[in-house]
C-alpha cells in the first residue's frame, strides 16, 4: 500500500500489526533515516539489541537469496518482534522481496528497507505499493509548513520562541535534508543558551547562516545573475555535499518568488530598495546589491516563465524516472542563459 504524506509520520511511529515490510525511499536521505529510526523504536525497546535487530546489505542478499527469509522467520531469544533492516536498496532485490512477501505475516520480523529516490517505474516501489502487507513511504524534502513545525518542536524543547522574520528565514534556509535541519536547529538551541527567550532574525542568521543551505542560496543567486562559470562550480559543490535536485529546485523557486514579489512592488511605484525592505524575511545585507541588480534585470513575464519551468522540472524529477541531477542541472543552466538575455535586454532598454 501507498502511505500518504500527511499520515506518514504517524504511520512510522505506530506501524499497523498487519504490516510486515516497509519501503522508505526518496531524495531526502535524512528523512529516510529518521523514519527508519522511528519504525525501529516502535517495534523494539533497545535498537542495539542484536537479538531483536538484524542489518543486511544488498550484496548479502544477492549472494544468499534465502538470507532475508531466514532472518524474517527467526525468533528472538529475548522475546518480542524483531526488525530486519536493509539500507541502500535498489531494484536489484525486487525479485527477492516479491518471493518473500506472500509468505510473511504479522508474526514475522518487520522488514525495513531504505532506498534513494525511486521513480514511478521502479519494480521495488510498485511491489510495495501493490502489496496488502507492505507499505511504501516517499520521503521528499520538507516544505515550508513541515519545516515550521520542526522549528517550533525543536525550539520548544529549549523553552525558546521565535520572531516571525526569524521563522521565515529558517523556513527559507532549511528543509533539504531532515536530519541536517534538526542538527542546525539543535545548534541554534545551544547558541541561545539555557535561559530561554526569543530567537531573533540576527540570531538565526548568525547561527544558521554558515550552513550548507547557504550554498544553495548562492547557487540560486548565480543562476538568476547569469553567472554560468560560478553556477557550474556551485552545482558540483552542492552535489558533493549531498543536496538533492528537489532541494535545489525549491531554493531556486523561493528565490524567483521573492524576485517576482519585488518586481510587482516596483511596478506599483516602489524603488528597488523599498521593494527589498518589504520582503519577509528581508534580503540578507551581503546579498542586497546582487538582488537589487536582479530586480532590474528580470521582467515580470520572464520571472513567471521561469517559475513555471522550475515547477515543471520538479514534477519531472518526481514522475518521469529520468536522472534528477540531469533535469535539475539543465534547468539551472537554462535559467542562467535566460538571465544573460534578460540582462542584455535590460541594458538596451536603459
Q: Strands across the sheet with 21-25, in order?
A: 53-56, 83-89, 110-115, 21-25, 134-138
Residues 101 and 25 in one domain: yes
Residues 236 and 159 in one domain: no
Domain count for the chain: 3
- Give tens-digit pLDDT for 153-209: 999 999 999 998 889 888 877 776 788 788 889 999 999 988 889 999 889 888 875
- Give tens-digit pLDDT for 207-229: 875 555 567 888 999 999 999 99
Residues 60 and 160 in one domain: no
The 3-class secondary structure across 86-148, one letter per residue, is EEEECHHHHHHHHHHHHHCCCCCCEEEEEECCCCCCCHHHHHHHHCCCEEEEECCCCCHHHHH
Q: Which three cell numbers stand for residue 210?
A: 554558515
Residues 340 and 235 in one domain: yes
Average pLDDT, the chain: 88
Domain end point (choices 105, 138, 171): 138
Q: Which three cell numbers stand for residue 156?
A: 520548544
CA atoms of 145 and 238, how far apart (whole Å)? 24
- Which CA distances in Å does 295 have to 51, 73, 91, 272, 283? 61, 63, 46, 7, 12
Residues 33 and 91 in one domain: yes
Using a pLDDT cut of 90, give the percent of the chain over it.
47
Residue 250 belongs to a domain with what CATH number? 1.20.272.10
Secondary structure (3-state) at 17: coil
Question: pTM score > 0.75 for this model?
Answer: no
Residue 54 belongs to a domain with what CATH number? 3.40.50.300
Q: Which three cell numbers stand for residue 325?
A: 541531477
> pLDDT at position 267, please?
83
Domain end point (choices 117, 138, 159): 138
- Give tens-digit pLDDT for 270-303: 888 888 888 876 777 778 899 999 998 998 889 9
pLDDT band at 77; cut points 50, 70, 90: confident
Range of the domain at 238: 213-349
Residues whose CB is less than 8 angstroms from the CB of residue 190 and which lie 6 or more positions away in sequence, other chains included:
none
CA atoms of 225 and 343, how far apart (whole Å)? 8
Amino acid at each position: 500500500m501507498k502511505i500518504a504524506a500527511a499520515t506518514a509520520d504517524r504511520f512510522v511511529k505506530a506501524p499497523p500489526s498487519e504490516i510486515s515490510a516497509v519501503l522508505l525511499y526518496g531524495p531526502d536521505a535524512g528523512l529516510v533515516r529518521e523514519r527508519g529510526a522511528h519504525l525501529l523504536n516502535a517495534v523494539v525497546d533497545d535498537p542495539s539489541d542484536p537479538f531483536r535487530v538484524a542489518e543486511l546489505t544488498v550484496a548479502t542478499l544477492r549472494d544468499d537469496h534465502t538470507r532475508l527469509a531466514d532472518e524474517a522467520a527467526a525468533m528472538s531469544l529475548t522475546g518480542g518482534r524483531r526488525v530486519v533492516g536493509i539500507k541502500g536498496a535498489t531494484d536489484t532485490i525486487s525479485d527477492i522481496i516479491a518471493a518473500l512477501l506472500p509468505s510473511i505475516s504479522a508474526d514475522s520480523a518487520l522488514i525495513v528497507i531504505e532506498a534513494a529516490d525511486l521513480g514511478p517505474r521502479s519494480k521495488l516501489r510498485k511491489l510495495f505499493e501493490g502489496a496488502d502487507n507492505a507499505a511504501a513511504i516517499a520521503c521528499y524534502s520538507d516544505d515550508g509548513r513541515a519545516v515550521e513545525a520542526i522549528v517550533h518542536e525543536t525550539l520548544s524543547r529549549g523553552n525558546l520562541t521565535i520572531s516571525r522574520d526569524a521563522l521565515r528565514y529558517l523556513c527559507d534556509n532549511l528543509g533539504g535534508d531532515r536530519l541536517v535541519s534538526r542538527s542546525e536547529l539543535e545548534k541554534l538551541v545551544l547558541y541561545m543558551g539555557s535561559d530561554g527567550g526569543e530567537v531573533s532574525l540576527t540570531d538565526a542568521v548568525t547561527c544558521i547562516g554558515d550552513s550548507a543551505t547557504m550554498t544553495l542560496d548562492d547557487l540560486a543567486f548565480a543562476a538568476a545573475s547569469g553567472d554560468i562559470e560560478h553556477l557550474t562550480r556551485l552545482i558540483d559543490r552542492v552535489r558533493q555535499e549531498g543536496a538533492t535536485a528537489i532541494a535545489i529546485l525549491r531554493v531556486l523557486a523561493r528565490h524567483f518568488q521573492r524576485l517576482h514579489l519585488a518586481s510587482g512592488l516596483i511596478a506599483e511605484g516602489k524603488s528597488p530598495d523599498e521593494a527589498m525592505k518589504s520582503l519577509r524575511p528581508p534580503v540578507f545585507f551581503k546579498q542586497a546589491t546582487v538582488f537589487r541588480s536582479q530586480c532590474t534585470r528580470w521582467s515580470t513575464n520572464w520571472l513567471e516563465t521561469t517559475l513555471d519551468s522550475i515547477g515543471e522540472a520538479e514534477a519531472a524529477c518526481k514522475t518521469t524516472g529520468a536522472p534528477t541531477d540531469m533535469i535539475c542541472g539543465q534547468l539551472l543552466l537554462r535559467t542562467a542563459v535566460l538571465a544573460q538575455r534578460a540582462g542584455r535586454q535590460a541594458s538596451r532598454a536603459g
